[in-house]
Every structure is written in structure tokens, then in C-alpha cells.
Amino acid sequence: MAAEGENVTGDSANSSTPPNNETSKAISYTLEALQLIKDAQQQHGLRHGDYQRYRGYCSRRIKRIRKSLHFPQGNRNRVTPKKIKEEILTDTRYLHLPLFCAERCWAYAMQLKSEANTEPRKRFHMISKLKKAVVYAEELESIGNSVKCDARTKLECQAYSAWIKGCLEFEEGKWESAMEYYTKAKTIYEKLANAFSEEVQAVYQQRVDEIAPNLRYCAYNIGDESALQDLQKMRIAAGGDQLSFKLDDLLSQTREKQAATLSEVTWRGRTVPVKVEAVRLFLLNMQDLNTELAAAESLDSRVSIYESILKQCIDAQQALRDTLQEDQVFKAAVRGQPIEGKISNQHYLHSYLMYIRLTTTVDRNLLMIENLKQNLPENNREEGRKITKPQDLVRLYDIIIQNLNDIPNLHGIQEDATIVSEIETSVLGYKAFRSYYIARSYASAKKWKETVSLYQRALDNCKKAIGGLKKQTQNGKIKQEISALEELEQHISGQMFSCQAYSILDSSSTGEQTFSTQVTDKRPLEDRLDEYLLEKSLTSKKATLTRFPPEFEPIPCRPLFFDLALNHIEFPSLEDKLEQKKAAGGGLTGMVKGWLFGGGKK
């Protein structure tokens, strides 16, 4: 019970139980019906559209109020319904009973309405629940008209009853009576908004804003053609709140009448018929996408429009996929098997819907990236907003690249060289942005080597992407991409120089080596005077300035001087100092000896 946030004692504390009839006539009970149900809805499921949770809360609250008031509806064996009459109205909580009974029936009806898309039979159950809610609302209005209730309570009960009746007539298609009830409720809430402070006024104004689209839709069905444009303007200004989903439903119902005129669609030079109603309705909604996006001013409104288109695209794809269950080629493609030849028209239409889904996702992520860039540390971000980290942008660029890489694999366009070339060029551009922000994340961690390498990779991809975009047919979007890439190229060049400067400063303060230092270089200083290298040994007593002793080097020999005077000098005769020996005796033996041993003269 405590988890539901209910405070039964608080309700009884705010109410007063008079001791006698004279006192009861003097007391005026006040029921802030709209504020009460809005708080309950926000705290118990309707913030996320969970009507089942809110319905369960209403049942538990009704049970607790009846128990605290000693106002049971019978006993264990038998149910005995009791009506709340003016005589027993001695506590404000008696007014809570019909209010939350009506809310419980309304929540059940809204739950059945969401389930009626797949089970049409539940629509009859939804109508019966709304009729029951009307009964409880009329009971609340009857009790509120008592003399024991003040003027505000009477107006609140009348407005709530008119709103519930308008919901019933709206679902039954009775546009004139629905418009009458909605107008009555809107008028009462506007008067109540003008009578109270700003905090209370906001609650009533929110209800007025919720009623306005239903009024315009009723006017459109009655015959007012301008009501459709008013609904579109309301959708643009709604943003991403609960009202936007309601407006989407109303616009979808409005365009169902126009969808019959859309019979075929042309994409990449091929025209295919559109036979599925859900696909026809989605393609009709897509025609107004650019207009709505151009008119939307806030980021929430534009993101909400993209989300709505993606939701409708997924539903249209599912409806088309159900009709392709008998297509054997489509089944083979789903299983990942290669297909050859021309695919069927409905299969090609499925590829077209997938292309819309992927490109819309890319556009939505680019919009989110532009919003996150405003909160980067170097930009002037708004106070109270979270600082964007480079890693946040990297994740979005990864999703964009993945979606773009899926486009050339769509069946029916795999042979189209033009779209493949365009996608490859776009991927290079987004890879350049991704590398740039990865480099910034490394720079924040002072990893200078990785930072410079990533900046260089981003610069290369940036140049390739610019060259590819200039070869394509120039339009506004292409020129914008080229301008963004050229600006990125300038940023990268500046960041690379800054990175080198920061690395030198960090290394000088910490004594660590930077990415430009060659740690293994042991050459003396005289051999690298033209290179800047940080080396701690140069400031020590053992600095390697030059080689000592120097190494031997080859040098040219001295020139040869020829002594030309030697040819003109006459030396004295030394014959008289030589010993004269006569030859030994002759004969045959001497002759042979002289012949073998060189003669007898020495």
C-alpha cells in the first residue's frame, strides 16, 4: 500500500466531519478534481502510458476510501450497491468515490483502445466502459451540485462530466455532440484557469490544450478543411510530451481518408504499386515531414517528429512483411541467402521502406549530435546542462556509419553503382568526424602519439570525402556537407599543432619522453644538430657531445718528388777496391760444373 504513494490519513485530515446537521450546512466541501487525478496519473503509470497500472491503482484507492468511510458495498456473500446521497455527504472523500470509479472505467477503456489495433473486438468493450464512466461522472456532477459543495467543486464536476461525455461521443463518431461537450469542458477550464494562481492555472491550461486537438478533429469531420492544418501546427508545437502521441493518432485518422489517392510510388527509377493500406498511409504522412520539420523550432519537437515517423515506418514494414509471407524470394532474403534476378514489386517496396527508416535514423542522430555539440567544453553551454564528452558523439557517429553501410545491401539496389558511391563518400565523411572526436578523447588523456595518428586519419578521410562530394550533383545538402568537412579540416590542422605544443610542455614539466623523441638514438650531439630531441643526458656531466678519441679517417698521401739530379752525377770508380779473382782450372769437369752451377766466376 505504501508503494502506491497513497496517503489516506492526509485525505481525512483535510476533510472535516461536522458533529450535527447545523454544522454540516455551514461547511462547504472543496474537490480539486483535475489536480487530484493529474497527480494520481503522473505517479501511477500514465507518465509512460501504462493504463493498466493506473486502473489497478484506482481500484485499490476506491477500496481504501470505502473502508475508511465505513461505506461498504455489501458483504462477503452479497453485493449491495449504495448511492451517495446529500444526507450522508459528511466528508470530502465521498466525492472521491465516483471520481475514481469514473477514472478506473476511463483507464480501462484507453487500455482496450490501444489493444483494439490488433483485436478489433475489444472496441465494443471499450465503448461499454466509457458508458459506465459517463454514469459515474453524472453521479459526481449530481453530488457536486449539492449545497454542501462550493462553487469551484461544482464547476470541476461539471467540466469533468462534460469531458467524459465528449470522449464517449468522440469514440462513437458523433462529432457534433462531441464538439458540444468538449467546448463546454474547455470553457469551464479556461474560466477556472483565470481565477487562480499560476501553479493551479498550469493544470487547467494543460487540460485545455488536450481538448483543443479533439475539437479541431471534430470540426474537420463536420466539414472544416482548415482543421487539418491546425492539427499539423499543434503537432509541431507539441514536442515530445503525451499530447504529441494523441495528435499523431488524430492525424493518422485524418489522413486515412486521403490515403486512397496514393496508389503507387517511384524510387530509383522504378515505380511500384502500393496495395497495403498501412504503407499507403505512412507514405502519405512522409509527404508532410519536411514541412513539419521546417516549421518546428524546438529540438524536442523535431526529435518527436522523427520518432513518430520511425514508429509509423516500423508498423508499415510489419504490415508489408505479413503480405510477403508467400514470397519465396523474400523468405530466402530474410534468411540471408543470395538472390539473383529482379525482385517483386512488394519486395522492392519493402527495401524502400527500409531505406526511409535508415535515412530517417541518420537524420535524427545528426540532429542529436548538433544539440550535443552545443554543450562541448569549448562552447558557451547553458547553465545547468550536462557537459558533452567526445565519447558521446563517437557513439552516435558509430550508429550513423552502421546505418549507412546497411543501405547498399538492400535488395533491389545492390547493382546501383551510383548509390553505392554516394554512401561510401558519406561514410568517409562521418568516419572523419568520428576519428576527430576519438582523437579528442585521447588528447584529454594526454596520449599524444595516438592523438596525432587519429588526427592524421581524420584528415585523410576528410580530404577523400570532400573530393567525392564535389563529383556529385551539387545541391543544398551536398554544399552543406562540403562546408562542414572543410571546417573540420581546418580544425584538425590547428589541433595537430596544439597537440604537439602540449606534448612538449607536458614532457618538459614531467620529464617524460614525447611522441617526437627517439629513445634509442645514441648519436652524439654533433651528428644531430638539425634535429630537436629531448634528452636528459645533455644536461648531465656525461653528455655525449662528440666522439673521443676520434675515429680514423682515410686521407690522401703526400705527393711523390722525383730526384732528377741523380742522372747528372758521376760517381768515382771502385774497381781498384774490388778483389780480382782468377778463374779456376779448366777441363771437362770444370765445364760441366760451370754449366750446372753458373760458372766458376764469383
Torsion of CA 345, 351, 352, 356, to 10 degrees: 160
Q: Would you state the pLDDT for residue 3?
A: 40
Nearest CA to 455 out of 395, 405, 502, 399 is that of 502
Decide if pLDDT at 324 tops 60. yes
For residue 47, which phi and psi values (nearest 5 degrees)? Answer: -65, -30
**Mean pLDDT, range 16-34, rounded to an integer:** 61
Decide if pLDDT at 454 tops 80. yes
pLDDT in tens, 141-177: 999 888 888 888 999 999 999 999 999 998 998 888 9
**Mean pLDDT, range 398-412, rounded to an integer:** 90
pLDDT in tens, 466-487: 988 888 887 888 888 888 888 8
**Mean pLDDT, range 294-308, rounded to an integer:** 77
Grid-cell match 461525455, residue found? 165
Judge contact between 189 and 159, C-beta under 8 A. yes
Decide if pLDDT at 254 tops 90. no
Cα 106 → chain centroid: 35
Cα 73 → chain centroid: 52
pLDDT in tens, 489-507: 888 888 888 887 777 776 5
* Alpha carbons within 13 A on the beta-carbon side of 106: 23
Cα 5 → chain centroid: 34
Q: Would you state the pLDDT for residue 24?
A: 42
d(CA 117, CA 253) in angstroms, rounded, equals 13
pTM above 0.85, yes or no: no
Fold of 416-507: Methane Monooxygenase Hydroxylase; Chain G, domain 1 (1.20.58)
Q: Would you state the pLDDT for residue 5?
A: 41
H-helix or E-strand spanning residue 272: strand 270-273
With cut-offs at 50, 70 and 90, classify the pLDDT of residue 403.
very high
Domain map of the chain by residue range?
Answer: 30-74+84-239, 249-409, 416-507
Q: Which residues pair with 265 in a beta bridge?
A: 272
Mean pLDDT of all residues in the chain? Answer: 79
Is pLDDT larger for residue 125 or for residue 386? 125
Q: Would you state the pLDDT for residue 37?
A: 93
With cut-offs at 50, 70 and 90, classify the pLDDT of residue 286.
confident
Quick one: three-class SS letters along 510-553? HCCCCCCCCCCCCCCHHHCCCCCCCCHHHHCCCCCCCCCCCCCC
Q: Which residues pair with 259 in a beta bridge?
A: none
**Mean pLDDT, range 282-303, rounded to an integer:** 74
Which range has the top average pLDDT, 338-347, 452-461, 496-505? 452-461
**Mean pLDDT, range 58-87, rounded to an integer:** 88
Fold of 30-74+84-239: Hyaluronidase domain-like (1.10.3450)
Q: Would you state the pLDDT for residue 248?
A: 57
Q: Would you state the pLDDT for residue 237?
A: 52
User: What are the CB-based long-range contacts (under 8 Å, 24+) for 313-316?
Assistant: 313/282, 313/353, 313/356, 313/357, 313/360, 314/357, 315/278, 315/282, 316/276, 316/278, 316/279, 316/281, 316/282, 316/283, 316/353
C-alpha distances in Å from residue 578, one per residue of 354, 523, 575, 585, 602: 124, 69, 5, 22, 12
> Of 35-49, 290-304, 365-379, which range is least confident?
290-304
pLDDT in tens, 27-59: 678 888 999 999 999 999 888 889 999 999 999
Is pLDDT larger for residue 59 or for residue 576? 59
Q: Would you state the pLDDT for residue 443?
A: 84
Q: Would you state the pLDDT for residue 58?
A: 95
With cut-offs at 50, 70 and 90, classify the pLDDT of residue 61.
very high
